[in-house]
Chain A
Amino acid sequence: MDKEKRNTNYNVYVESKIPKTKAWPSLFKAFFLGGLICAIGQGFFDLYSYLFPNLAESEVTTCMLMSIIFLTCLLTGIGIYDVIGAWGGAGSVIPITGFSNSISSPAIEFKKEGIIYGICVKMFTIAGPVIVCGVVGSIICGVIGLFI
C-alpha cells in the first residue's frame, strides 16, 4: 500500500475514533454565559444612566464597556476568567470580555520576559488577528462608502 493511501485511510479511521463535542450542552452554556455577560453590561448601563443623568447615551455606553473590560482584566489577573471561559466557550469570547481577556492574559503571561520584549511584543499575539480584521474590514467599508 502506498504511503498516501495509507495516510488517508489512517486519517479517516482516526476521525471516526475522535469523541465529538456534544453540541446542545455547549450551545446552552455559551448562550447562558453570553447572555449573563450582556445582562451585567446592561446593568452597568442602567446604573450609570441613573447615577449620571446628564451623560449622553454614547458616553454611558463607553463607561459601561470600560467597566466590563476592567472587570474581565481583574478576573483574568486573579485566575478566574480562564475557568469561566473553559466552561462557557464562545459565550465568553463573543462579548468584549473575550477581547479583553485575550489581551490581558498574554500581558500577564509574558511579563517575565520584560516590558518591551514581553508585554509590548506579546500582548497582541491572540488579539492581533482580530485587530487586523477590524482595520482591514473598516478600510474596505470606507472605500465602499466613498462610492455610495
Chain B
Amino acid sequence: MQTIVLKNGAYIRAGYSIVGPLEGKGPLKDYFDYILKDDTFKEKTFEKSERKMFKNILTGAIEKAGLNIDDVEFFFGGDLLNQIVSSSYTARELGLPFVGLYSACATMAESLALASIFISNGLAKNVVAGTCTHFSSAERQYRFPLELGNQRPPTSQWTITGGGASIVSNVKSNVKVVAVTFGKVVDYGINDVNNMGAAMAPAACDTIMTHLQNVKRSPRDYDFIATGDLGKLGSEILIDLMEYNKMTLGKNYSDCGCMMYDKTERVFMGGSGAGCSASIFNSYLLKKLQSGEFKRVLLVSTGALMSTTTSQQGDTIPGIAHAVELEYVGDDVKIDNKKKWDSVKVKQLAKAGVKE
C-alpha cells in the first residue's frame, strides 16, 4: 500500500528553522527560530551561504532537542542544487551518516517520512530530517543571473531562502508521526517552467486523495492541511481538482508558499523551494502541534521533478507529492515542552550554533 501507518511511535523531538531577510518580514516571522540579516550569510558564494545555513539548521535542531551530534544516527536530507551538494557538503562538515534524497521541493516530507519509518521500525533512536534552499543559488541554476533586468511572468514563484530540520526520535513527545504516503509521479502535460503550481497540483491531489482513502479520513478531520509550494494559482487548482474528486478542502487548507510572504511583496504566486515547506513545518506547524492548538496536521510537500535540460528539450513537468500525517499526543505525556524550549533557545542564541 502507498500509505504506511506507523505502528510504533515516531515522535518529533524538535524542529528548527532559518529563513532569509525577505521571508523574515512575512506574516510568520515570529515563528522562525532565526532570521538572516544578510542573505549572503557572510560567505563568498551563495552556494556556500546555503551550506552554512543548512549546517546551522541541523546543529540548531540537534541542540534544541538537547542532543549531541553523536546521538544522531542518520541524516535524511536533500536540496535543490545539482547533485544535492548542499546536503552532502553539510553532512561532510558534521560527520553524520547521510541518506541523500531528492524529490525537488517535496524533499522535506520525503525525508521526514523515511526518518519516521526508520524510528518506528526501531532501526534508530534519533535521526534528523531536513532540507534547505537559497533564492540566489536556485535562481542562477534554474533561471537567469540576479542582476538581469528581466520581467517575471505573473505565474512565477519565488524560491525562498530558508530551510528547516526535524529531529525524529523514539522518545515520547507531544507530536507523533502517524502515517506517511509516498506519492506517485503525476504529469498532466504542463511544460511552462514558470507555472510550477499547475504542474504540481495534480500530484498533490493524487497523494491527498490516496492518503485520505487509506487512513479513512476526510479533509474535515484535520486541523490543518498544508501543501508545500503550490502557490496561489496552484492551490486554487488543487481545490478545484479535489472538488472534481468530490472532496472539499475548506478553511483548514493552506499552502506554505502562500503563507510565507505578505501580499505586498513582489513574489507573484508566492514562495517555492524545498525550504518552503521545511521552514514553515518546523516553525509554525510544529509549534502549533506542540502546543496542542492543532490536533492533527497533514503536511503534503510538493515537488516538480524537471531539470533545466528536460524543459529546454520540451518535455513536460512531472510532479510529485509526499504526505506526512502528524498528531498531537501531548495529553498522554506530561512534559512541559514550552519551558524546556525557551531555555534551550536562550542557550542556543548565546552559543555557537547560530553566529553570523
Contact = CB atoms under 8 A, between A and B. Distances in A.
Interface of A: 4, 6-8, 10-11, 13-14, 17-21, 76-77, 79, 81-86, 88-89, 92-93, 98, 101-102, 104-106, 108-110, 112, 126
Interface of B: 44-45, 140, 144-155, 188-190, 195, 198, 202, 233, 236-237, 240, 266, 316
Contact of B147 (A92, A93, A109): A109
Contacts of B190: 10-11, 14
Contact of A104 (B147, B150, B195, B237): B147
Given A21-B154, A86-B151, A126 B44 contact: no
A65 B288 CA distance: 59
B189 A8 contact: yes
B154 to A, nearest CB: 5
Nearest to A97: B149
B149 A79 contact: no
Contacts of A98: 149
A10 B188 contact: yes
23 contacts: A4-B189, A7-B188, A7-B189, A8-B189, A10-B188, A10-B202, A14-B190, A14-B195, A14-B198, A17-B233, A18-B195, A20-B154, A76-B147, A76-B149, A82-B147, A82-B148, A84-B149, A86-B150, A93-B150, A101-B147, A105-B148, A106-B145, A109-B146
Contacts of B154: 18-21
Nearest to B48: A112
A102 B148 CA distance: 6
A10 B266 CA distance: 28
B140 A109 contact: yes
B189 A11 contact: yes
Top 4 closest pairs, chain A to chain B, by CB:
A85-B149, A7-B189, A109-B145, A105-B147
